[in-house]
Structure 1
Amino acid sequence: MRKPLEGIRVLDMSRVLAGPWCGQQLADMGAEVIKVERPDSGDDTRAWGPPWLAGTRESAYFLSANRGKRSVGVNIASLEGQQLIRDLVSQCDVLIENFKAGGLKSYGLDYASLKVIKPDLIYCSITGFGQDGPYAHRAGYDFIIQGMGGLMSLTGQPDGAPGGEPMKAGVALTDIFTGMYAANAILAALWERKRTGEGGHIDMALLDVQVGVLANQALNYLTSGEVPRRLGNAHPNIVPYQVFPSADGHLIVTVGNDGQFRRFCQVLGCEEWADDPRFATNSARVAYRDVLIPDISQLLAMRSTDNWLAELETAGVPCGPINTLDKVFDDPQVRHRGMRLPLPHPKTGQVDLVGNPIRIDGQRLAADTPPPALGEHSEEVLSQLLGLDEETLAGLRKRGVISGSGS
């Protein structure tokens, strides 16, 4: 299968998660992604372990966001390193960076400087707060942005309930969403460049993204003027739509319309609820959730999760279990869809990664090379793209401008 971004070359100068996630997405789509790292230590997340890949010092965190890339170790604090980046930019279509706003200007590697070298360059900057505004100078981390951007105010048990406090998501969702938005913006810019021949500067901010994905909760506030409150695992607009205890654990019930609620009532043996004016419509159930939910909870707690799931699925009531990750990757649907992605690895023989969920014409998009060792491709990239000979490369290594050979 020919991948949609074959022929596009990306210089990925980002580290940690949002930028690397963007670069990995582009690599999965077929782009050639060159990851620029500090020669001595590389991407910060290389050290974010344990866990480590067995027999190596490659962190699981780094492995999660860097497949399909080639690593070049370049010291951009040196004049020679800065020139190498400029030379590489002249051979690339896209540059991704997540330094602080204005952080690359002192190196001559900001958009205004590089646009002179490569007028059609698509330059994507990812920061916590954007390139302008009163917070532009601040560093931004996912956890902080989940709090500032409202997500934590919506997540967790209500005040007064056991454990009732604002809660972050268990995955760095703001970083992930920012990486996906950035990849989407780059695709749009590539299409625009095809039409106009012009590049551009993409300004992605984690805070913008977090506010942007508040979705219905943001509109709940903007429409009503009422600040949404934490509801634990309940839904602000739909009832019943939450986690319930069973005799041996928990299950999720997501009743999305009145017909499903009627079938749910039949399974519970409470058909009369479907005609009760307090519960017959979703808006009524939202108003009377404090009456309805305790009764549902009492009934569901009488039987096992598997028992309820089987009966509810047969009745066409949306429901599901709460799986730990061992059960996720052993789930027959997840296995069938190939979401565990084994790739060959030079040190361990194989590394298991998580597959890209995008499929086109039945084929899953996924890069076919594992995350690189630090500087693994320095000589290869610099000789292929810039024509540097071994003597020149040896001199750059000796002066600490580059790292190479997986060092």
Structure 2
Amino acid sequence: MTTPQAPLAGIRVLDLSRILAAPMASQMLGDLGADVIKVERPGTGDDSRSYGPPFLQDGDGSPSQEAGFYLSCNRNKRSITIDHSTADGAQLVRELAESSDVLIENFRAGVLEKYGLDFDTLHASNPRLVYCSVTGYGQDGPYSRRPGYDGVFQAMSGMMSVSGLPEGVPGAGPMKVGVSMIDILTGLYASNAILAALRYRDTVGGTGQHIDMSLLDCGVASLSHFVQNYLISGVAAPRRGNGGFGGIPSQTFRCADGEEFFLVASTPKQWAGVTKVIARPDLADDERFATVSARIAHRDLVLKTLAEIFVTQSADHWVSMLEAEDVPVSPVNDMNGVFANPQVDHRGLRMTVEHPVAGTVDLLRNPIRMSATPIEEYRTPPTLGQHTREVLEQVLGKTPDEIEHLEQIGAV
């Protein structure tokens, strides 16, 4: 059986980015088959390589220089070290850009112009180049030259204002989402934008373009219906902790063993299942409980009634009973629980690949599943400069003597 060609086979991506948002975008393109060349600083590389512990252990069990943070967003790439602040290094980047389809960078607005690596300069020599800039605030505006990180944008975008426990309960107040959510969402927005720009270039326009991605923009956009509800009502959404804003109940409940589970019962059938499990058939007909609208209107009463019942038994007891009634429910898993889940195991979300330092390393599988062009190749995140000579020889046609000279002058 012939192995199908990857969707982005033949597309070359020049990745000048580091940390998380932009590397997530380039990793997505690499997973889909693009040749991603990751350009890193000689000696230190991507800042995220040092974002540990934990660090990957080598074959002897000693910590390596590869942090788990770095491993999370750099698979399916080749690493080349170039000092773009030198004239020779900047020239190498320009040469790589001339034979690339996509360039991704996340320097502050205006920084790369100093080295002749800005969109206008590179577009002039390669009009087909899709150039994606990922910055905190975008390429223009009063904040465009400011630095920023995910937590800053969770605060500024309003995400923190709708996360956390509601007023009036212990521990109330705005709360950051645990993961770097805006970074991750920006990476997904950016990869979508790049694919759209490639489609336009190849079927409509014939040229590349500049994509201006802002973490602040993506953070505000990610609030979705919270923003839309505000725009039509003028009322900001309150924090509801682990409760939802749709059908009621949509909430975590603490149980006798101290564990919690999340329950959603928004349809009549689901609510009937809940009333059966808790042995309260009267709540199926009680006008304060019987419909979604009624339960929303009497939210506090509904949640108080359920909380007093669910605290009498263990989480496992309630989850198994609710599952038997086809009610959407889950224990609140930690990472051990996630990877012990039989569905997660069946879907193969944890996978093992070969690694030049550790021997093997477990990675998280891309969740995209396509029938005709499945994602089958998972190359380990590269060590620093692992492919420098390979790329210089194969892509730029440099001779061994030329490469040695570049190394001697510190360009690579």
With normalisation by structure 2, the TM-score equals: 0.95
User: Using the alignment, how far apart are the partners of 2:377 and 2:12 within structure 1?
Assistant: 14
1:33 to 28, 31, 36: 36
* Structure 2 residue 322 is matched with structure 1 residue 312: yes
Q: Is the 8 A contact 2:7 2:373 kept in 1?
A: no
For residues 7-406 of structure 1, what are the structure 2 equivalents within 5 Å?
A: 7-55=10-58, 56-195=64-203, 196-248=205-257, 249-361=259-371, 364-365=374-375, 367-402=377-412
Q: Is the 8 A contact 1:129 1:138 kept in 2?
A: yes
User: Using the alignment, how far apart are the partners of 2:270 and 2:234 within structure 1?
Assistant: 31
Q: Is the 8 A contact 2:256 2:312 kept in 1?
A: yes
Stretch deviating more after TM superposition (278-287 or 208-217): 278-287
Q: Alpha-carbon deviations, 1:3-62, whole Å to 9, x = none?
A: 100110000000000010001100000000000011121100011111010131210100
Q: Is the 8 A contact 1:356 1:364 kept in 2?
A: no
Q: Alpha-carbon deviations, 1:343-384, whole Å to 9, x = none?
A: 101122101010000011187525421011111111110111
Stretch deviating more after TM superposition (269-278 or 109-118): 269-278
Q: Is the 8 A contact 2:137 2:146 kept in 1?
A: yes
Structure 1: any 5+ residue segments left out of the alignment?
403-407
What SS is found at the alignment partner of 1:360?
coil
User: Using the alignment, how far apart are the partners of 1:365 and 1:144 within structure 2?
Assistant: 34
| Amino acid in structure 1 at the alignment position of 2:244 | H
Q: Is the 8 A contact 2:157 2:220 kept in 1?
A: yes
What SS is found at the alignment partner of 2:395?
helix
Task: Report the identity percentage.
Answer: 47
User: Using the alignment, how far apart are the partners of 1:231 and 1:114 within structure 2?
Assistant: 48
| Amino acid in structure 2 at the alignment position of 1:280 | A
User: Using the alignment, how far apart are the partners of 1:30 and 1:329 within structure 2?
Assistant: 27
Aligned-pair distance for 1:257?
A: 2.0
CA RMSD of aligned residues (A): 1.2
Q: Alpha-carbon deviations, 1:108-144, whole Å to 9, x = none?
A: 1000010111001000000011111111111121000
Aligned residues: 402
Structure 2: any 5+ residue segments left out of the alignment?
59-63
Q: Using a 3 Å threshold, how does the CA distance of structure 1 residues 342 and 325 change in structure 2: closer, same or farther?
A: same
Q: Is the 8 A contact 1:343 1:370 kept in 2?
A: yes
Q: Alpha-carbon deviations, 1:215-267, whole Å to 9, x = none?
A: 22112212222111111101123210010011211111011223311221122
| Amino acid in structure 1 at the alignment position of 2:72 | S
| Amino acid in structure 2 at the alignment position of 1:353 | L
Stretch deviating more after TM superposition (253-262 or 242-251): 253-262
Q: Using a 3 Å threshold, how does the CA distance of structure 1 residues 141 and 366 change in structure 2: closer, same or farther?
A: farther
- Residue 405 of structure 1 aligns with which residue? none
- Residue 61 of structure 2 aligns with which residue? none
Q: Is the 8 A contact 1:36 1:71 kept in 2?
A: yes
Aligned-pair distance for 1:160?
A: 2.8
Q: Alpha-carbon deviations, 1:61-100, whole Å to 9, x = none?
A: 0000001100010001001011001100011000000001
Q: Using a 3 Å threshold, how does the CA distance of structure 1 residues 311 and 182 change in structure 2: closer, same or farther?
A: same
Q: Is the 8 A contact 2:107 2:134 kept in 1?
A: yes
Q: Is the 8 A contact 2:14 2:97 kept in 1?
A: yes
* Structure 2 residue 6 is matched with structure 1 residue 3: yes
What SS is found at the alignment partner of 2:363?
strand
Q: Is the 8 A contact 1:355 1:366 kept in 2?
A: no
Q: Using a 3 Å threshold, how does the CA distance of structure 1 residues 362 and 319 change in structure 2: closer, same or farther?
A: farther
Aligned-pair distance for 1:282?
A: 1.4
